[in-house]
């Protein structure tokens, strides 16, 4: 049974310590302004009980009838949770009224909710409001929540993605919070909120998301959405924000047969918080294959699909967003709708690749489930340098021979995922292939495909030891041959490029591109590279996903770190080297980049991250979100706002968000 009784709601309030400790959450103000106890007469949780007891708990919605009921109970502040009913031209007036210089409501502003109002919000959400305590606070001896054992645990598990995904506000790229309250610095600094939001709502039902959306829109609060916080650009952070934490929306349902105008076959219905690992596990259980990223913690229906999403299966089945059959979403006006090929079609187009935190809060998606596939491939680790068998010159000759064959491999549903790390100035390189594989291919065919390259390598004296594998399903290939990626490194930033197939047409142009990539690596950049071509399979409905992806056969992520504590001038120089120098040289060959693994400072992000789809995405954004309720760096429409007090060479999320232009 999922009926949330009032008694339970009030008990839950008790679990939210920071508010409950203040004694505020159990009281409420009536229309006369008197503070009265909150009980089953004065307040009721703001969600309709499900009509069907078997229904997903997360489908419980906020309705006009409930709001009318709450208003009838003469509670204070209920109008802060009303939907916005304006549409079309009326709604665009809302946008016009927001003048340049206006900032999102921040703590200390007149419009910032009182603790009492936060308490009402907490009650309505059934106690789902969490006042932010940064994850590192337990490491600060002068902080009320200091806990040496918990601190040791966090320090030990810091680079594991779950440590951050399971916390309401922690993120995997601490750079953008201003590296505030880092657990490592507990004995030497103060814990402040920095770029962390002020509050988070732990969403387990649609109604909590609707309440948060309405509340933030009415008060002009900065609103962010955090799922797992894998984002590399600081998108799931924001100083003074209210955060909607979708990580706990975990439903997975398998449907044997689904029919849409363009698809007929099996499908999986997944909540917004379902992680890649959970999705693959479920698909394996039902004997099907699902398209997700390579890292197990990344959220499938969250930022991953919203941003397009590349996968080991992308050359065969397209981007993650090409798998989507329908999307459930809470819109900026607070309404909960479904977008598909037959309803809300503009939204359906935009939500598949147009970016996270832009058009609303996605609560669930239905995605295609493909038949089981054979997986054959290879892994290796090869080093070059004067203490190895491979001189650098031979290493690069071998690499160029591999790169030269990318167009022919892309014809073969390839996924070639490898990393090159310089071992230090003049000390050679380490190249890890993890893995190179072709979904659906037998090992014999795979070996035949790679043999010509291996023959070339042998002829030039390149030493390598391939380790081949074969599995009759994707899940085993993925669990056995993919690395676990560490996260939460500070002092590190990455950028990316999508190199189109046409760059190989002219050999001189192609070789100049190889030279430029090599020189960037020589200058200290890592190169995480993917040989794949996520073109949309025939019959896939058009979508807002980056048009540059469709042409790409080589996706490269580059970047570098810097020593902690360097001066602002040195820091600026590193940032400019990545964005202007390295990316400047490579943009000539690959104008596109990938918004989920891109450069937060990408100068023309509209073209790089969205390609020919930007203008239509922006039109849809204006219509659906005339309030600019959703904002994230490099998101569609984000150019209209900026973080106050930031140098233009690094977007930390530590200042106020203010409007710059119309
Ligand atoms: C170790 C690692 C491996 C990766 N591997 C891959 C890969 O193989 N392929 C690939 O394509 N990408 C990969 N990525 C990048 C990944 O796609 C992005 O980081 C993506 O944004 C993660 O989405 P999330 O929901 O997990 O993270 P979050 O940081 O929580 O969210 C990312 C963005 O989406 C928004 N968002 C989240 N949930 C919702 C929602 N319910 N509704 C609306 N907006 C929402 C957030 O506000 C934010 O703007 C990887 C990242 C890491 C750190
Ligand atoms: C919005 O419209 C609904 C349905 O017509 C109505 O019940 C509700 O009161 C309206 N809300 C506001 C804030 O006007
Ligand atoms: C309105 O409140 C009454 C009494 O508190 C309750 O019985 C009824 O179910 C509520 N209606 C809705 C739509 O929540
Ligand atoms: C941290 O790691 C240890 C050892 O790997 C494990 O026992 C513990 O449960 C982890 N803690 C968290 C919070 O993940
Ligand atoms: C802080 O100092 C204490 C006592 O010396 C030590 O046990 C602890 O590990 C230190 N904490 C951190 C985060 O370095
Ligand atoms: C949330 O993160 C998980 C794990 O990365 C992912 O599978 C899911 O799709 C994400 N949800 C959304 C709405 O992005
Ligand atoms: C290898 O090259 C590095 C960097 O140039 C140098 O420091 C080192 O001494 C060399 N080692 C040998 C064995 O030549």
Atom 35, ligand 1: residue with shortest CA distance? 356
Would you say 294 and 311 are in contact if contact means Cβ atoms under 8 Å apart? yes
Instruction: Choose one of 313, 342, 371: the last residue of a domain.
Output: 371
Q: Let me know whether 40 and 124 are in one domain.
A: yes
As a whole number of angstroms, the distance between CA 367 and CA 351 comes to 13
- pLDDT, residue 13, reads 31
Lowest mean pLDDT of 25-39, 266-280, 339-353, name the range: 25-39
In the chain, count of helices (H) and strands (E)?
22, 22
Average pLDDT over residues 121-126: 87
Ligand 1 atom, smallest distance to 485 CA? 1
Q: What is the mean pLDDT of residues 231-252?
A: 88
DSSP string, 283-338: HHHTTEE----SSTTSBIIIIIHHT----TTHHHH--GGGGEEEEEEE-TTS-EEE
CATH label of the domain that carries residue 581? 3.40.462.20
DSSP state of 30: B
- The residue among 330, 348, 371 that closes a domain is 371
Shared domain check, 242 and 114: yes
- Regarding whether 597 and 494 lie in a shared domain, the answer is yes
**Residue 623 in this model has a pLDDT that exceeds 80:** yes
**356-to-58, 307, 350, 362 alpha-carbon distances in Å:** 20, 6, 10, 9
User: Is it the case that residue 130 has pLDDT exceeding 70?
Assistant: yes
Query: Can you give the residue range of the structural domain that contains 446?
Result: 375-612
Are residue 571 and residue 661 in the same domain, yes or no? no
Residues 559-616 have pLDDT tens digits of 999 988 899 999 999 999 999 999 999 999 999 999 999 999 999 999 999 999 999 9
- Number of the ligand closest to the Cα of 156: 4
Whether the CB of 304 sits within 6 Å of ligand 6: yes
Is the pLDDT score of 41 beyond 60?
no
Residue 343 domain flag: yes
CA nearest ligand 2 atom 7, residue:
64
Amino acid 133: pLDDT: 93
Q: Confidence class of residue 49 from pLDDT cuts 50, 70 and 90?
A: low
pLDDT digits (tens, 9 = 90+) for 12-25: 232 232 333 333 34
> Lowest-confidence range among 216-225, 479-488, 514-523?
479-488
Round to whole Å and give the CA distance between 141 and 598: 37
User: Average pLDDT of 545-564?
Assistant: 95
Answer yes or no: do 316 and 397 share one domain: no
Considering every ligand atom shown, identify the ligand nearest to the alpha carbon of residue 294 and give its number. Answer: 1
**Rounded mean pLDDT, 279-302:** 79
CA 560, CA 573: separation in Å to the nearest integer?
A: 12
Helix (H) or strand (E) holding 104: none
CATH at 350: 3.30.465.10
Assigned domain for 620 exists? no
What is the residue-averaged pLDDT of the chain?
A: 88
Q: Tell me: do 466 and 383 sit in the same domain.
A: yes
Name the band, by pLDDT with cuts 50, 70 and 90, for residue 30. low
Give Cα separations from 53 to 4, 57, 337, 449 (angstroms).
12, 9, 21, 54
Nearest residue (by CA) to ligand 6, atom 6, is: 299
Which protein residue's CA is at the shortest distance from atom 1 of ligand 5? Answer: 187
Does the pLDDT of residue 340 top 90, yes or no? yes
Collapsed DSSP state (helix, strand, coil) of residue 75: strand
Mutate to test the pocket of ligand 2, among 62, 70, 72, 85 (most ligand atoms within 8 A of CB): 85
Kindly state if the Cβ of 482 falls inside 6 Å of ligand 2: no
User: Looking at ligand 2, which atom is closest to the CA of residue 85?
Assistant: 1
The answer to whether residue 381 is domain-embedded is: yes
Residues 52 and 165 placed together within one structural domain of the fold: yes
Give mean pLDDT, residues 103-124.
Answer: 91
Which residue has a Cα nearest atom 10 of ligand 2? 85
**Token pair of 645, please?**
């007090």
Q: Which of helix, strand or coil describes residue 221?
A: strand
- Residues 533 and 545 both lie in one domain: yes
Q: Say yes or no: 235 and 277 in one domain.
A: no
In a domain, 617, yes or no: no
Q: Whose CA is nearest to atom 8 of ligand 4?
A: 153
**How many angstroms is it from 167 CA to the middle of ligand 4?**
14
- In the structure encoding, which two tokens stand for residue 505, read together? 């047409």
- Give the domain-ending residue among 371, 400, 432: 371
The ligand 3 site (C-beta within 6 Å) comprises: 44, 65-66, 69
In this prediction, residue 151 carries a pLDDT of 96
What per-residue confidence (pLDDT) applies to 297? 63
| Range scoring the smallest mean pLDDT among 9-18, 279-288, 536-545 | 9-18
Task: Give 144 or 662, the one with higher predicted confidence.
Answer: 144
Same domain for 332 and 281: yes
CA of 58 to the centre of ligand 2 (A): 23
Ligand 6 proximity of 135 Cβ (cutoff 6 Å): no
Q: What is the spatial distance between Cα 283 and Cα 571, in angstroms, rounded to a whole number?
A: 45
Asked whether the predicted pLDDT for residue 51 surpasses 80, the reply is: no
Write the residue with the smallest CA distance to atom 2 of ligand 2. Answer: 85
For the ranges 40-44, 143-147, 532-536, the one whose mean pLDDT is highest: 532-536
Which residue, by CA, sits nearest to atom 4 of ligand 2?
A: 64
Q: Based on the domain organization, do 407 and 506 belong to the same domain?
A: yes
The number of folded domains in the chain is 3
Q: Which ligand is nearest to the CA of 146?
A: 5
> Ligand 3 atom closest to Cα of 65?
13
Convert 483-513 to b/e letters by CB count within 10 Å (16 or more is b): eebebbeebebbbbbbbbbebbeeeeebeeb
As a whole number, mean pLDDT of residues 149-162 equals 93
The model's pTM is: 0.89
Residues 463 and 341 in one domain: no
Helix (H, G, I), strand (E, B) or coil at 414: coil
Is residue 622 situated within a structural domain? no
Note whether residue 300 is domain-resident. Answer: yes
* Contact indicator for 471, 374 with CB cutoff of 8 Å: yes
> Is 621 part of a structural domain of the chain?
no
SS3 content of the chain, % helix, strand, coil (to 5): 35, 20, 45
Q: Confidence band (pLDDT; 50, 70, 90) for 9?
A: very low
């Amino acid at each position: 049974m999922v009926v949330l009784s009032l008694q339970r709601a009030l008990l839950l309030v008790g679990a939210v310590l920071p508010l409950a400790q203040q004694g505020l959450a159990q009281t409420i103000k009536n229309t006369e302004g008197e503070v009265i106890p909150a009980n089953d007469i004065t307040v009721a949780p703001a969600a309709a009980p499900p009509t069907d007891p078997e229904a997903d708990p997360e489908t419980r919605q906020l309705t006009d009838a409930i709001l009318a009921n709450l208003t009838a109970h003469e509670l204070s502040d209920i109008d802060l949770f009303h939907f916005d009913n304006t549409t079309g031209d009326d709604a665009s007036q809302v946008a016009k009224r927001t003048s340049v210089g206006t900032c999102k409501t921040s703590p200390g502003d007149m419009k910032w909710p009182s603790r009492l109002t936060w308490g009402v919000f907490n009650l309505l959400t059934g106690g789902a409001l969490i006042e932010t305590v940064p994850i590192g606070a337990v490491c600060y001896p002068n902080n009320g929540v200091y806990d040496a054992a918990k601190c040791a645990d966090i320090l030990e598990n810091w680079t594991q993605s779950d440590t951050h995904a399971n916390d309401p506000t922690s993120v995997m790229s601490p750079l953008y919070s201003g590296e505030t309250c880092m657990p490592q610095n507990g004995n030497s600094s103060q814990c402040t909120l920095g770029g962390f939001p002020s509050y988070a709502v732990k969403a387990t039902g649609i109604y909590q998301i609707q309440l948060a959306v309405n509340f933030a829109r009415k008060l002009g609060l900065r609103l962010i959405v955090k799922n797992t916080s894998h984002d590399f650009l600081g998108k799931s952070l924001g100083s003074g924000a209210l955060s909607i934490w979708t990580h706990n929306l975990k439903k997975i349902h398998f449907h044997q047969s689904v029919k849409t105008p363009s698809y007929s076959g099996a499908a999986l219905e997944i909540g917004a918080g379902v992680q890649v690992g959970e999705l693959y596990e479920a698909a394996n259980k039902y004997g099907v294959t699902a398209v997700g990223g390579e890292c197990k913690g990344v959220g499938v229906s969250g930022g991953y699909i919203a941003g397009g999403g590349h996968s080991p299966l992308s050359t065969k089945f397209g981007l993650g967003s090409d798998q989507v059959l329908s999307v459930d979403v809470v819109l900026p006006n607070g309404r909960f709708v479904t977008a598909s090929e037959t309803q809300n079609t503009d939204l359906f187009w935009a939500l598949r690749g147009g970016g996270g935190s832009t058009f609303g809060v996605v609560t669930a998606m239905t995605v295609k489930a493909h038949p089981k596939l054979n997986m054959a491939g290879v892994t290796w680790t090869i080093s070059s340098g004067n203490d190895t068998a491979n001189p650098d010159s031979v290493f690069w000759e071998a690499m160029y021979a591999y790169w030269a064959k990318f167009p022919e491999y892309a014809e073969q549903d390839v996924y070639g995922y490898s990393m090159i790390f310089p071992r230090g100035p003049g000390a050679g390189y380490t190249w890890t292939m993890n893995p190179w594989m072709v979904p659906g291919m037998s090992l014999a065919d795979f070996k035949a495909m790679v043999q010509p390259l291996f023959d070339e390598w042998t002829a030039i004296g390149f030493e390598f030891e391939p380790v081949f594998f074969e599995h009759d399903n994707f899940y085993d290939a993925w669990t056995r041959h993919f690395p676990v990626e560490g996260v939460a490194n500070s002092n590190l930033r990455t950028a990316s490029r999508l190199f189109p197939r046409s760059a190989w047409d002219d050999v001189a142009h192609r070789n100049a591109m190889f030279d430029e990539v090599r020189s960037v690596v020589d200058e200290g950049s890592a190169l995480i590279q993917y040989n794949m071509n996520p073109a949309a399979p025939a019959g896939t409905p058009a979508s807002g996903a980056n048009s540059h992806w469709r042409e790409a056969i080589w996706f490269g992520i580059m970047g570098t770190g810097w020593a902690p504590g360097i001066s602002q001038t040195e820091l600026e120089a590193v940032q400019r080297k990545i964005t202007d120098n390295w990316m400047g040289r490579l943009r000539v060959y690959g104008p596109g980049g990938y918004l989920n693994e891109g450069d937060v400072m990408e100068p023309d992000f509209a073209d790089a991250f969205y390609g020919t789809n930007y203008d239509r995405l922006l039109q849809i954004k204006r219509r659906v979100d005339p309030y600019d309720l959703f904002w994230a760096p490099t998101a569609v429409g984000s150019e209209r706002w900026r973080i106050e007090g930031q140098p233009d060479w690094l977007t930390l999320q530590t200042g106020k968000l203010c409007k710059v232009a119309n």
